Amino acid sequence: SNQIISSMCSVMVAPSWQDEQELARNQYERMGSDVTMQCGSLDNEASVSWKVNGTDVKAEHRLEGPRLILTEVDLGHNGLYSCFQNPHGERRDTIYLHIGTPPREPTVTCRSNTYPKGFYCSWHQQHPTFIPTTFEVDVTHNLHSLQVQKDPDHKNRCRVRFPEVFSTVPYKVNVTAVNALGKASNTISFEESSIVKPDPPERVTATPVRFNARRLEVSWHSPATWPDIDNFPLKYFLRYRPLIREQWQHVELSDSTSHTITDAYAGKEYIIQVAAKDTEIGTWSDWSVAVHATPWIEDPLPITSTTEVDFSTETKTSPIPSSNAPQKAEPPVGRAARLLTFFSPLLLGMLPLFIW
Ligand SMILES: *[C@@H]1O[C@H](CO)[C@@H](O)[C@H](O)[C@H]1NC(C)=O
Ligand SMILES: *[C@@H]1O[C@H](CO)[C@@H](O)[C@H](O)[C@H]1NC(C)=O
């Protein structure tokens, strides 16, 4: 029906030079082809000379009356060509020659990180075209064209709102790359449930547990982009390993945004990441930014440093300061008691070093 709104999203790709020379007309030609440039509308008997960028044409060429013929052009032939009629040398034409290639099928991917609000599609050209190329994006669902919005933050990306939720009718996205030398389309089709992929969890922190050499408390926040965490809850996947080992350990958690690791190796620095997924559909997010933490270790030094260490759990993604930090807030009594138990012969041997 004529109710269907044809929508498109155009994005310029290559920079264009045509603004620079307002008087010049543009001529686009395929790389590798032989190119004929015609000097205005002069007839076949006219005799002309040509210049490119204001100097003589050095590239291999033929002259046929008012025509300049370049063979097997490449990017080096780009330039501003002017022709002058003999014998008086009046300029008769100015042509900006642009060498490029027609677009090929763009690759297209779509993803919803804002389920159930909408999704976005992005596309890429596998090969450069060297000339300005625009993209038209058509999204249809259930035979209706959907409104497509250009993403303000990302080049080559458009956003679409879901017209309904829990639809099993596939969406069709057709992206057409167009330039002066041709066009090429790619159409992909998918169901709502297959493109849901949240952004990674945010503000992941890992903190040692005082007096417990094997624990790390990990907490995080759901991705801020996920619009309705109450009705569309996420589950999480935690992975952690000591830096010295390759093997990750994994924990899957439904709905909770914290977890206590209880089997950490004492004294080892850990690397920890979290991923998120809708509890019902879609795929796992990418891993969050990695955080580092070391379980609590008894301070080998009875004389602790007086340096202020702000052990704020708000410190996002920054490595947790290791051994010294947890002891900072410790009451003096605890410290004294610990001192007694901790003076092993080994440390006694080292003690003078620190006292003096
Ligand atoms: C003419 O000038 C343009 C812009 O500076 C340059 O890119 C091009 O290579 C030049 N063409 C020739 C044939 O010298
Ligand atoms: C995709 O869009 C282009 C341009 O509008 C059109 O020519 C082509 O037929 C479309 N392809 C499909 C499969 O709908």
Ligand number nearest to the C-alpha of 74: 1
Q: Cα(80) to centroid of ligand 1, in Å?
A: 7
pLDDT at position 255? 80
> Cβ–Cβ contacts within 10 Å for residue 147, how many?
13
Ligand 2, residues 121, 145, 174: which to mutate, most atoms within 8 A of Cβ?
Answer: 174
pLDDT at position 285? 98
| Structure-token pair, residue 116 | 């159930």
User: DSSP secondary structure string, 228-249?
Assistant: -TTTS-EEEEEEEEETT-S--E
Q: Atom 6 (ligand 1): residue with closest C-alpha?
A: 79
Ligand number nearest to the C-alpha of 136: 2
Average pLDDT along the chain? 83
Measure the CA–CA gap between 133 and 182, rounded to whole angstroms. 10
- For ligand 1, which residues put their CB under 6 angstroms from it? 52-53, 77-79
Atom of ligand 1 nearest to the CA of 57: 13
Query: Which residues are paired to 275 by β-bridges?
Result: 237
Per DSSP, the three-state class of 222 is coil
% of the chain exceeding 70 in pLDDT: 78
Ligand number nearest to the C-alpha of 130: 1
The residues of the chain that CATH labels 2.60.40.10 are 2-100, 107-195, 202-293
pLDDT at position 300? 65
User: What CATH number should be reported for the domain whose range is 2-100?
Assistant: 2.60.40.10
Beta-carbon contacts of residue 281 (< 8 Å; ≥ 6 apart): 115, 192, 193, 194, 196
- What type of residue sits at position 247? Q
Ligand number nearest to the C-alpha of 15: 1
Architecture of domain 107-195: Sandwich (2.60)
Ligand number nearest to the C-alpha of 20: 1
Low-confidence ranges of the chain (pLDDT < 50): 1-21, 304-356
Atom of ligand 1 nearest to the CA of 75: 9
Over residues 294-349, the pLDDT tens digits come to: 999 887 656 544 444 444 444 344 333 333 333 333 333 333 333 333 333 344 33
pLDDT at position 23? 76
Judge if the beta carbon of residue 177 lies within 6 A of ligand 2. no
Judge if the beta carbon of residue 187 lies within 6 A of ligand 2. yes
Judge if the beta carbon of residue 176 lies within 6 A of ligand 2. yes
CATH homologous superfamily of 202-293 equals: Immunoglobulins (2.60.40.10)
Q: Atom 4 (ligand 1): residue with closest C-alpha?
A: 79
Q: Cα(59) to centroid of ligand 1, in Å?
A: 12
Query: Which residues are paired to 254 by β-bridges?
Result: 235
pLDDT at position 326? 32
pLDDT at position 299? 74
> Cβ–Cβ contacts within 10 Å for residue 199, how many?
17
Atom of ligand 2 nearest to the CA of 187: 13
User: In a 10 Å sphere around its CB, with 0-12 CB exposed, 13-18 middle and 19+ buried, how is residue 193 labelled?
Assistant: middle
Q: Cα(270) to centroid of ligand 1, in Å?
A: 56
Q: Cα(27) to centroid of ligand 1, in Å?
A: 14
Q: Atom 3 (ligand 1): residue with closest C-alpha?
A: 79
